[in-house]
Structure 1
Amino acid sequence: MNFTLHQLKVFITIVEHKSITKAANELNMTQPAASIQLKNFQDQFEIPLSEVIGRQFYVTEFGKEIYQIAQEILNKTETIQYKTEAFKGLLSGKLRISVVSTGNYVMPYFLNGFLKKHPNVELVLDVSNKTNVIKDLEQNLVDFSLVTVSPTHLEINELPIMENNLVLVASKNNTLLNNDNNEKSIFKTIPLIFREEGSGTRHTMMEFFKQEKIAPKTQLVLTSNEAIKQAVVADIGVSIVSLLSIKNELLQNEIKIIPTKGLPLQSTWKLIYLKKKELSPVAAAFLAYVASEKESVYKQYFDWLDAILE
């Protein structure tokens, strides 16, 4: 066999996108050039790595095994580069992190100092819902994921970072909920705006309702935290959201927190990674940075939470 690292990269990217065209776009190649590289790589095996049925690209079982090996080879190659840079006193390479959407209010503050300290590190940050974030982790596409709800089907390590508090919010003009300490039973009558299935916030909410034997009324289902906030500001309904996500709306007096028994709902932001994963020097350095700096980052950027929760 005489395959190249470039062919491995092309094959991996095509498998991950399940499309030669999309892979070519990501790799800044033409579609015919990517097809030629794939063919040259596949021709070195007697067993097919992929097949096209109709216009859909499929990876064979053998191809999936070669994909895993190809990933390991490229990871080792990158490690050689990282270690070479490290011996020169530099930390370089890619740091890949997937973050649930509300975690976008958390992760940048932990990345800020690290990236300034190591300017040669290239960050790849993907923000999605919990289902997609866990899928990225399971497929070993990222070094870390930031979540509040850990997957139960994966063997993972966890680094707790900070608490996440979910509160009931309404528009400043909402007059339906003016009591200082509403009973939990209000959720049986007030229309709620929900996040979509697969959201960590929704999961925490539904666990609370299940425990309290409450069947909440659903007003609307929206697919982003920003959309929910705008709907609340417009007084379309009320919702349970992360306190982290409404700092600006509170400062601008667009949203108010409704005191309610049983709230805030509490969970923990965690940086998680696969136990079997061999962390690159960059990933290991970031993990150590977060572990040592999480308290100072909290004091610098998040101490406003304590004043509101008192």
Structure 2
Amino acid sequence: MQLRQLNFRLLEVFQQVVEEKSISAAARKLHLTQPTISAQIRRLEDVCAAELLQQEGRQMIPTLAGEHLYRACGDIMRRMHECTQAISAIREGDRGTLKISLVNTAQYVIPPLVAKFNRQYPDIGVELSIGNRSSTLQRYNNNADDIYIFSHPPSDSMVKAEPFMANRLQLIAPVNHWAVQQCEPVSFQQLVDEPFLMREPGSATRMVFDTWLAGRGLYLNHTTQIESNEAIRISVAAGMGLAVLSEHIIDHGSDAVARVNTEGFPLPGQWYMVSRNDSSNANIIDKFRVLALTANL
């Protein structure tokens, strides 16, 4: 058999003749002429180098070779039908893979959304990448993912950014800290000599806090840099100092920390869902975006 000379039209014609048991009936079904059907059957027999159909009374019946080819036709057509459906689902965004890159703080925000998305779209796989702002920004620049979660999205002509959830920053201290015990709000000026645990430069939390301090002409006298929100929360609970963290980190922890009632806090903020305007996965991205914007978590 010369496989390179086969095509789907020849197989479709042969399959139709076998099922209709008639060249004329197959011609009507396929909207072709009888001579065209006959010519294509002869061509297929030449390709296979075997007789595929034989006349029995008024019916066309497959030979033994024809029966094998008919079964193969069924397998091929069924797989191509499945393939067509799969491609259509992918094109419509009902099947495929969604890659999401998020900054560390958002690890408490995104998993519930992903779980809801998985229930609603079981044929769409989700891959999560978690890192600091610098690594997530690098992934955005490399176009490595479909969606990026930032509290401060990048700004360039390809960015499509939408706020979808509040991300307020809280000032926290050990539960037995003197500032926590006060009935009245504490002036932040009273806290500048306290030890503060800070995220690394470039972190969105650090950027917001530094901007807030600079805007009020405040300077912290004792700071320790820790490149982990979890480690900062644990360290505050252990009495190492005060810190400014996203309320999502505080709410999901069991460590003994307390919010400090002080002027200007909590600092306002938002989570942004970021994608690129040139993304080839727009349909799936839109499905996740709609879910995130309407989710009541």
| TM-score of the aligned structures, taking structure 1 as reference length | 0.63
CA deviation vs aligned residue, 1:80-113 (integer Å, no higher than 9, x gap): 9996151899822111111111111111122121
Please state how far the C-alpha of 1:193 moved relative to its aligned partner: 0.3
Matched, 1:221 2:225: yes
Matches within 5 A, 1:119-198: 119-153=122-156, 155-175=158-178, 178-179=181-182, 180-198=184-202
Q: Residue 5 of structure 1 corresponds to which residue in structure 2?
A: none
CA spacing shift, 1:147–1:253, aligned 2, 3 Å: closer
CA deviation vs aligned residue, 1:263-303 (integer Å, no higher than 9, x gap): 10111111011223343432232123223x23x23xxxxxx
Output the amino acid matched with 1:201.
Answer: T
Of 270, 273, 281, the match for 1:271: 273
Output the amino acid matched with 1:216.
Answer: L
Q: Percent identity?
A: 22
Query: Aligned partners of 1:125, 1:107: CA distance in 2, in Å?
Result: 9
Output the amino acid matched with 1:284.
Answer: D
Query: Aligned partners of 2:263, 2:125: CA distance in 1, in Å?
Result: 45
Query: Aligned partners of 2:177, 2:84: CA distance in 1, in Å?
Result: 58
Contact 2:195 2:240 in 1 (8 A): no
CA spacing shift, 1:256–1:81, aligned 2, 3 Å: farther
Of 94, 98, 103, the match for 1:100: 103
CA deviation vs aligned residue, 1:210-244 (integer Å, no higher than 9, x gap): 11111113431111100001101101111011111
Contact 2:149 2:274 in 1 (8 A): yes
Contact 2:102 2:130 in 1 (8 A): yes
Contact 1:148 1:200 in 2 (8 A): yes
Output the amino acid matched with 1:95.
Answer: L
Output the amino acid matched with 1:264.
Answer: P
Which has the higher mean CA deviation after the structures are superposed, 228-237 or 172-181? 172-181
CA spacing shift, 1:87–1:132, aligned 2, 3 Å: closer
Q: Secondary structure at the match of 1:231?
A: helix
Matches within 5 A, 1:1-310: 84=87, 86=89, 91-153=94-156, 155-175=158-178, 178-179=181-182, 180-249=184-253, 254-291=256-293, 293-294=294-295, 296-297=296-297
Q: Secondary structure at the match of 2:111?
A: helix
Q: Secondary structure at the match of 1:135?
A: helix
Which has the higher mean CA deviation after the structures are superposed, 170-179 or 222-231? 170-179
Count of residues in correspondence between the two structures: 214
Consecutive unaligned residues of structure 1, counting only runs of 5 or more, are 1-79, 298-310
| TM-score of the aligned structures, taking structure 2 as reference length | 0.66
Query: Aligned partners of 1:95, 1:162: CA distance in 2, in Å?
Result: 20
Q: Secondary structure at the match of 1:213?
A: coil
CA deviation vs aligned residue, 1:99-146 (integer Å, no higher than 9, x gap): 111111111122121111112212111111111111111111011111
Contact 2:193 2:222 in 1 (8 A): no
Query: Aligned partners of 1:234, 1:192: CA distance in 2, in Å?
Result: 13
CA spacing shift, 1:174–1:121, aligned 2, 3 Å: same
Query: Aligned partners of 1:177, 1:118: CA distance in 2, in Å?
Result: 46
